[in-house]
Structure 1
């Protein structure tokens, strides 16, 4: 019977100083395990770097939004000041108009009283010197 023997690597024990690398199944398995470990560590490293980049981008976006918000808040503050000035100007104009209307009302009342006194003087004169009859005037307050 013939027996066959498989030999992957054979080392010559008589010549131990020969240059070269002896590859065995065990060393190949260790080498492949190291490559797989490095590839997994590289993938984790890439995942961590991409997460940090995403966080950095989010922080930059938040900073830009805060700057825009601060700008809008300043604009709102300016508009609020302008609005307060317009409200105060409206109140002042309203007060002036009310004062002017009050003065005009007093002038009209004064003129009306003077006209009333003049007409009464004329009525008395006419009643004394002539047979003039004064009719009473009734104001019709019903709306048409």
Structure 2
């Protein structure tokens, strides 16, 4: 005789370990893909931040150099202004000296002209000296 016994599926007693099923493997792989995607995005963000930081550093250096150049330009501008003022002062002095020389020459010329006229008058009055006529452009004082 055949002994038939019916058995009901019973889960084995709780064993220490992880039971992998298709669903848990899918969830685990989904988590890994999401984490790797997030890591990629984080790496891109960090690289962009580093690029921006490097650009800011370059801009800061350029601004410092520009400030130094601006200070040099300001110094050169002040020196240039001093040279211009010195030139104007020298030009004024030279013009003043030239004017004084011109006045002295005119004064001496007029005195010489008056002395010459006095001599001409004396010679005409006391001798038979004949004076040639010429055109004058000077004015008597």
Query: Match of 2:41, SS?
Result: helix
Aligned Cα RMSD in Å? Answer: 1.6
Q: Quick one: distance in 2 between partners of 1:21 and 1:71?
A: 69
- Normalised to the residue count of structure 1, the TM-score between the two structures is 0.82
Of residues 62, 65, 68, the one that matches 2:65 is: 68
Moved >3 Å (runs of 4+): none
Gaps of 5+ in 2: 1-9, 137-141
Gaps of 5+ in 1: 1-11, 140-144
CA-CA distance at 1:15 after TM superposition: 4.4
Q: Quick one: distance in 2 between partners of 1:83 and 1:68?
A: 22
CA-CA distance at 1:110 after TM superposition: 1.2
Query: Match of 1:40, SS?
Result: helix
Counterpart check, 1:132 vs 2:114: no
Residue aligning to 1:98: 95
Q: Quick one: distance in 2 between partners of 1:60 and 1:106?
A: 68
Residue aligning to 2:55: 58
Residue aligning to 2:28: 31
Deviations 1:66-112 (A, max 9, x none): 10110111011011101110111011011101110111011101110
Structure 1 segment 69-84 matched on structure 2, within 5 A = 69-84=66-81
